Amino acid sequence: MAQVLEFKLPDLGEGLTEAEIVRWLVNVGDVVAIDQPVVEVETAKAMVEVPCPYGGVVTARFGEEGTELPVGAPLLTVAVGASADGGTPAAPAPGAEPTPAGPSASSASSADSAVSSEYSGNVLVGYGTAGPAARRRRIRPQSPAVANPTPNATAGPAPTATAPAVKAGTPAPVAAAPAPVAAAPAPVAAAVAVAAPGGPLPVISPLVRKLARDRGLDLREVRGSGPEGLILRADVERALTARETPVAAPVGAAVAMPVGTAAPAVSAAPAGERIPLRGLRGAVADKLSRSRTEIPDATCWVDADATELMAARAAMNAAGGPKISLLALLARICAHALARFPELNSTVDTAAREIVRLPQVHLGFAAQTPRGLVVPVVRDAGTRTAESLTEEFARLTESARQGTLTPADLTGGTFTLNNYGVFGVDGSTPIVNHPEAAMLGVGRIIPKPWVHQGELAVRQVVQLSLTFDHRVCDGGTAGGFLRYVADCVEQPAVLLRTV
């Protein structure tokens, strides 16, 4: 007899609590092998193909493309092993709750065996497994007409687990309780019960909790649409939209108006396209909002003559060998500046009220991709040569464009270099990449009139800006860092002291 095993969305690491289904790689009825990728999901960090730890026939898929699921929610079910007659169990429709293979007493023990074996197979690399957990039944949204069905209002017999048997001669309950049927058009939210006043909230995502807390929304008033009433980000957004949208007066509610006075027009919701803030765009929005909320940032800037730096780069590339990028030279300058001003290569532990100075320089750089803004991280940038930095920048940039960056490529940065000059602008006041303490912005390098050696000349000028966390240092330190960077740009020979 085949066993139907449920594969849940695994923990993708790096503190991620949810993911959006981008593309299904298998259909119901397909045969999958162990560790075969079955779905492509988008997290707040990157696009990930999720492999299935079971081999067998896919019997059900949970969630359409574009659906956001929390970690631990069912992804699909797989029938493992063949039945006695060599067949496989019938595949239920997508989104349906899988049913046991048969009503015999042995099916219960088979189900228990399936649950235990779910955690005894191969471990998914990078995901990890947990001990056996209680199986969760998928709750499908109900329409208002069936939000509170009576025993006779449903097609088919009532489940024996929830409806007690009615003795012969006892009046049918539907005749004694017509009120629920009349109240069927009540709000749809009645289909899912809210949390008890003193009970735990059915929400596991810290992002969802923070969103509700920042907007002053009581999560006990929100009905969850996830498994077992789990509150998702979409539920909170719907509740906030409903709270901010004016509600028209109910039908039949009379309003006293003076005779001859026209009724005021009811303001409708603002028209326009609504784009959900989720996936990468939502993660960027949350991180930038957190940075603006927690970090008291300040910005200083300076113009620098980059003519000598451009000439030094041209000389390096003319000597043969791999080409050196301008971003790599700026990264080298940043690494040396951070060695002189370590206050800016730090982070703030708000819980302990401590500044943590970091020993290594892991340099992030802003990269614009079709999916949005990402900040890949170059590990140990302080110990790399200009040639090594050029290669790593090229590798990470290509991975960002292809959408193949891993969570490890996008986390752990200690300082960020933002070259917004590629957009044809001179200056900016960038937002610090939380939890880092500073970001250096580089504008475009263009010919400008400049006083050079006492004479007016046309030079290659660039504007540099530094945004920093004022908790880790004062303006003197930030100004000293930026001045040193500008000196290295104007006179690259300064770096020879540290070669």
3-state SS record for the chain:
CCEEEEEECCCCCCCCCEEEEEEECCCCCCEECCCEEEEEEECCCCEEEEEECCCEEEEEECCCCCCEEECCCEEEEEEECCCCCCCCCCCCCCCCCCCCCCCCCHHHHHHHHHHHHCCCCCCCCCCCCCCCCCCCCCCCCCCHHHCCCCCCCCCCCCCCCCCCCCCCCCCCHHHHCCHHHHCCCCCHHHHCCCCCCCCCCCCCCHHHHHHHHHCCCCHHHCCCCCHHHCCCHHHHHHHHHHHHCCCCCCCCCCCCCCCCCCCCCCCCCCCCCCCCCCHHHHHHHHHHHHHHHHCCEEEEEEEEECHHHHHHHHHHHHCCCCCCCHHHHHHHHHHHHHHHCHHHCEEEECCCCEEEECCCCCEEECEEECCEEECCEECCHHHCCHHHHHHHHHHHHHHHHHCCCCHHHHCCCCEEEEEHHHHCCCCCCCCCCCCCCEEEEECCCEEEEEEECCEEEEEEEEEEEEEEECCCCCHHHHHHHHHHHHHHHHCHHHHHHHC
470 catalytic, yes or no?
Answer: yes
Burial bucket for residue 451 (CB in 10 Å: 0-12, 13-18, 19+): exposed
pLDDT the model gives residue 446: 95
**pTM score:** 0.54
First-to-last alpha carbon distance for the chain, in angstroms, is 70
**Catalytic: which of 336, 362, 452, 470?**
470
The dihedral formed by the CA atoms of 368, 369, 370 and 372, expressed in degrees to the nearest 10: -60
Q: Which one, of 468, 448, 466, 467, lies nearest residue 458 by Cα? A: 448
Phi/psi at 266 (nearest 5 deg)? -85, 125
348, 356 Cβ separation under 8 angstroms: yes
Nearest-Å Rg of the Cα atoms of the chain is 30
The token pair that represents 300 in the structure block? 């200083």
pLDDT the model gives residue 45: 63
Contacts of 450 (CB under 8 A, 6+ apart): 305, 456, 457, 458, 459, 461
pLDDT the model gives residue 200: 59
Phi/psi at 201 (nearest 5 deg)? -85, 135
pLDDT the model gives residue 206: 64
Residues 239 and 219: their CA atoms lie apart, in Å, by: 9
pLDDT the model gives residue 40: 87
pLDDT the model gives residue 462: 96
Phi/psi at 350 (nearest 5 deg)? -65, -30
pLDDT the model gives residue 325: 93
pLDDT the model gives residue 188: 38
Q: Give, for all 499 residues of the chain, the pLDDT tens digit.
A: 678 899 988 877 655 678 888 889 999 999 999 888 999 888 766 778 888 988 899 999 998 888 888 888 898 999 987 443 444 444 444 444 444 444 444 444 444 444 444 443 444 533 444 444 444 444 455 444 444 444 443 444 444 444 444 444 444 444 444 444 344 444 433 334 455 554 556 665 666 777 787 788 888 788 888 777 778 878 888 888 887 765 554 544 444 555 545 555 555 556 788 888 877 778 888 888 999 999 999 999 999 999 999 999 999 999 888 899 999 999 999 999 999 999 999 999 999 999 999 999 999 998 888 877 889 999 999 999 999 999 999 999 999 888 888 888 988 999 999 998 888 999 888 899 999 999 999 999 999 999 999 999 999 999 999 999 999 999 999 999 999 999 999 999 887 766 5
pLDDT the model gives residue 103: 41
